[in-house]
């Protein structure tokens, strides 16, 4: 039994540390934590409009008060200081700064709020990582069709230009959009999140086209006007789940898994990090189906050569948000349904060894993180990678004793460490989701991702550290999982065994965009 325990530990864990200067952090977003939805001149955003309509969110929850961070900067800074994080990722509320979306409506009290927050972070040696857009579009801009309107490219640029000029002397890491795939698909395809447009066949592609152009525009604005004097980074946080082929020995299934990744992640990453254009798999699938559906042109828009040159290379580092893994297999979808979903010809299922969480579609599958990081390395030319969102949801019955989150953090961060130390992936930072329990979008307050428990039943919104906060403090303080004397005394030389085990478990697969990353050891799947 000792040998079995030892082998299990070897399979599960890699002892080691990240390099000096690794960016450890936590995150929040404006609508989820700030509250003060109409305080001091703030204008309404699309989430205000949506959540204030009864029946849209469980228990009619909304972000009107949320964690009340608008009035509790000191409480938030206290948590961050106690955790000793190096980075705090948060977002700016566009409608708090420009209530109607335009610079002409500038609200100085909103600017003052963010100046106080940023100054407080700097005073505590915490680097601000600022997301310019985290889903909360000013309602006034949705009234002109939001991201489906190409005019938004210049309107967004005006807003970002102001933010660079106002905060860029202290902010050195900018993220333009959080999860543009979610904005395009869930917002304009499925119609689940604001603006709740249900046009799955074409609106997501149009919106993504505008988002990519808007992102490129604000990247170039930073490049041309601010980079020389401010010296910061600009990127975009893309979301993906790892797509594991149903059978790695069946080429069609490997290609299907790759196609799923191209549709979800490559939709934005391929234009930005490769050649300025959409992945071939997307262009072929959507173009072919559009033709068979009798359309005169593809539902996937085309970029001009000028567009491609403008978009290519518009990110300084690769930022990825990821939570889970899906097992993917090929299907032949019906042609009479025009949808981004059916365009892919894939079906996704949960992995056999996935672990339930409070959010059914985000089961914990730690080994998939290592696979995904390897795929990013191979697919996009070995970029520097920041994991800008990763965490686990627990239910409201869990307050501070969150053992599930402890297991999640240990296993997921260790998979990132394996990718860095064993596979040579250039992982530069890890941002845990999230600093504290908050308004969780369509789930309201029925689940929480926080390292700190927030009691939403009390008007003072008290915060309490969970057990996971203490664990994350230790991981950050140790810069990973160093091999201590206590651990090494538990058996034979652990590092030697790890290396030997890794050589034994290398696999050889057909070479495709997906299997280049699948060649990593299968050890972490057990």
**Residue numbers annotated as active site:** 389
Q: Give the orientation angle of helix 251-261 with respect to helix 280-292, to 10 degrees.
A: 100
Q: What sign does the dihedral 452-457-459-460 (CA atoms) show?
A: negative
Q: Which two tokens stand for residue 412?
A: 């997921």
Establish how many alpha carbons lie within 13 A of residue 15's alpha carbon, considering only the half-sphere containing its beta carbon: 15
> Do residues 431 and 58 touch, judged by C-beta distance below 8 A?
no
- Please give the helix or strand (H or E) that residue 414 lies within, else none: helix 403-421
Structure tokens at 336: 């009479």
d(CA 317, CA 172): 13
Q: Are 157 and 218 in contact (CB under 8 A)?
A: yes
Q: Tell me the C-alpha distance between 268 and 234, whole Å.
A: 15
Q: Rounded CA gap, 128 and 116, in Å? A: 12
Task: State the Cα–Cα distance between residues 166 and 150, nearest whole angstrom.
Answer: 26
Token readout for 457 is: 């039943």
Contacts of 503 (CB under 8 A, 6+ apart): none
> Which ranges constitute the DSSP H helices of 124-274?
139-142, 152-167, 180-182, 188, 203-225, 227-230, 251-261, 267-270
8 Å CB contact between 425 and 375: no
Task: Identify which of 81, 83, 108, 78 has the alpha carbon closest to the alpha carbon of residue 96.
Answer: 108
């Amino acid at each position: 039994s000792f040998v079995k325990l030892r082998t299990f530990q070897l399979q599960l864990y890699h002892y080691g540390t990240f390099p000096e200067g690794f960016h450890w952090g936590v995150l929040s977003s404006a609508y989820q934590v700030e509250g003060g939805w109409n305080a001091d001149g703030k204008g309404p955003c699309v989430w205000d409009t949506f959540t204030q309509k009864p029946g849209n969110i469980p228990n009619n929850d909304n972000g009107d008060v949320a964690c009340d961070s608008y009035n509790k900067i000191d409480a938030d800074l206290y948590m961050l200081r106690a955790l000793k994080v190096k980075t705090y990722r948060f977002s700016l509320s566009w409608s708090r700064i420009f209530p109607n979306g335009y610079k002409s409506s500038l609200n100085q009290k909103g600017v003052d709020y963010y100046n106080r927050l940023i100054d407080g972070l700097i005073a505590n040696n915490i680097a601000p990582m600022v997301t310019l857009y985290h889903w909360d579009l000013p309602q006034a801009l949705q009234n002109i069709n939001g991201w489906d309107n190409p005019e938004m490219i210049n309107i967004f640029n005006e807003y970002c230009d102001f933010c660079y000029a106002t905060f860029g002397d202290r902010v050195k890491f900018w993220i333009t959009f959080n999860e543009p795939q979610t904005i395009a698909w869930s917002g304009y395809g499925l119609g689940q999140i604001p603006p709740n447009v249900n046009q799955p066949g074409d609106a997501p592609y149009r919106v993504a086209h505008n988002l990519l152009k808007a992102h490129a525009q604000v990247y170039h604005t930073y490049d041309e006007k601010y980079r020389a004097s401010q010296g910061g980074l600009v990127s975009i946080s893309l979301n993906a789940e790892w797509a594991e082929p149903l059978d790695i020995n069946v080429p069609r299934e490997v290609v299907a898994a790759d196609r799923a990744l191209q549709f979800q992640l490559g939709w934005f990453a391929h234009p930005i990090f490769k050649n300025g254009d959409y992945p071939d798999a997307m262009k072929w699938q959507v173009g072919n189906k559009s033709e068979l559906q009798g359309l005169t042109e593809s539902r996937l828009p085309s970029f001009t050569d000028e567009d491609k040159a403008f978009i290519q290379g518009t990110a300084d580092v690769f930022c990825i948000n990821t939570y889970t893994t899906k097992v993917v297999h090929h299907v032949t979808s019906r042609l009479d349904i025009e949808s981004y979903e059916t365009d892919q010809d894939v079906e996704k299922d949960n992995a056999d060894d996935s672990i339930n969480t409070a959010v059914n579609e985000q089961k914990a599958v730690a080994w998939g993180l290592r696979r995904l990081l390897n795929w990013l390395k191979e697919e996009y030319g070995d970029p520097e990678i920041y994991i800008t969102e990763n965490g686990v949801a627990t239910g409201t019955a869990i307050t501070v004793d969150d053992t599930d989150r402890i297991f999640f953090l240990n296993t997921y961060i260790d998979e990132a460490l394996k990718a860095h130390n064993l596979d040579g992936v250039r992982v530069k930072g890890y941002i845990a989701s999230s600093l504290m329990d908050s308004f969780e979008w369509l789930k309201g307050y029925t689940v929480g991702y926080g390292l700190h428990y927030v009691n939403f039943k009390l008007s003072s919104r008290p915060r309490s550290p969970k057990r996971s906060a203490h664990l994350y403090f230790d991981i950050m303080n140790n810069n990973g999982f160093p091999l201590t004397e206590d651990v090494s005394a538990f058996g034979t030389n652990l590092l030697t065994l790890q290396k030997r085990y890794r050589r034994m478990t290398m696999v050889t697969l057909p070479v495709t965009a997906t299997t280049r990353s699948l060649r990593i050891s299968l050890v972490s799947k057990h």
